[in-house]
Amino acid sequence: MYAREFGKSERTLVGYNLPQHRDPLDHRNYMSTPGESQLWHDVRMAAKENASLAKALDHALTIYYTIKDHGT
């Protein structure tokens, strides 16, 4: 959102809305639903007993943090 002084053409940024991104792996995320939180909790617990699932989650986290850090 922009504002400008009366009679002037220069605009000044006075506010904006950021898109709300949810991290389904972050249990502290107030935007996630209880069902999503429980699902990811269950997946993480299952990964402790299943090497294939643990490896897949690790790969997914690598992709996620790469995207998050580099914006691609």
Query: What is the predicted pLDDT for the residue at 52?
Result: 94
Residue 36: which residues within 8 A CB-CB, separation 6 or more? 24
H or E segment and range at residue 46: helix 34-47
How many distinct structural domains can be found in the chain? 1
Residue with tokens 């107030």: 30
Query: What is the predicted pLDDT for the residue at 7?
Result: 85
Rounded Cα gap, residues 46 and 48, in angstroms: 5
- Rounded to two decimals, the pTM is 0.51
User: Residue 11 is part of which domain span?
Assistant: 2-70
Q: What pLDDT digit, counting tens, does each position of 14-72 carry? A: 766 655 666 666 656 556 677 777 888 899 999 999 999 999 999 998 888 888 877 65
